Structure 1
């Protein structure tokens, strides 16, 4: 399964971005929470959302592996401007 967890849509009309009126529920706040090259939001990996989501897919659909894309953006905050 392709599991995109390095970033998410920046659009406030779909997905998780500002779904509850705040920008920090699942994502980092401020400039740390925005990827300037991809124009997307960056997850806060200290929250349980991503781990819980991965576990749900494993238990519900019996997936046996994930392909992680964009790992560099998950590990480092690099300014490309």
Structure 2
């Protein structure tokens, strides 16, 4: 999930949602913890799907101006100063734990979340 368009949908590469859940359940039966590589540092630029321009504005979920775009990843950058963004991403993290029973996360692109220069 690197150019995420729907944060509440799994990749079809894992089969159906039930297939994905079964895979995680089987890993748990074998005593294996399952971590999800979650991308809350950026999202797809696409305007026809995903969150970009979701409400018709350029900045509801994302930064505007010079901070709006990550040039190396060709993606939009979340505005973590927005209450809506925080609620959305936290609810997304909780949803994956509850719905799919992941045991935790590997957060992708953390330096891009922490630093304006993206840690580059």
Classify the TM-score, shorter chain.
0.7 to 0.9
More deviation in 25-34 or 15-24?
25-34
Within 5 Å, which residues of 2 pair with 1:35-74?
35-46=70-81, 47=85, 48-74=87-113
Per-residue Cα deviation, 1:31-77 (whole angstroms, up to 9, x for no partner): 21211221210112233111111011111222111111111111111
Q: Which has the higher contact order (CA 8 A, sep 6+)?
A: 1
User: How far, CA to CA, are the matches of 2:65 and 2:47 in structure 1?
Assistant: 15
Give 1 or 2 for the bigger CA radius of gyration: 2
Q: CA RMSD in A?
A: 1.5
Q: What residue ranges of structure 2 are gaps of 5+ in the alignment?
A: 1-35
Give the number of the structure whose residues are more often helix, by fraction. Answer: 2
Q: Across the two proteins, how many residue pairs are aligned to each other?
A: 79
Instruction: Give every structure 1 segment of 4 or more consecutive aligned residues whose post-TM-superposition deviation is greater than 3 Å.
Output: none
Q: What residue number does 1:15 align with?
A: 50
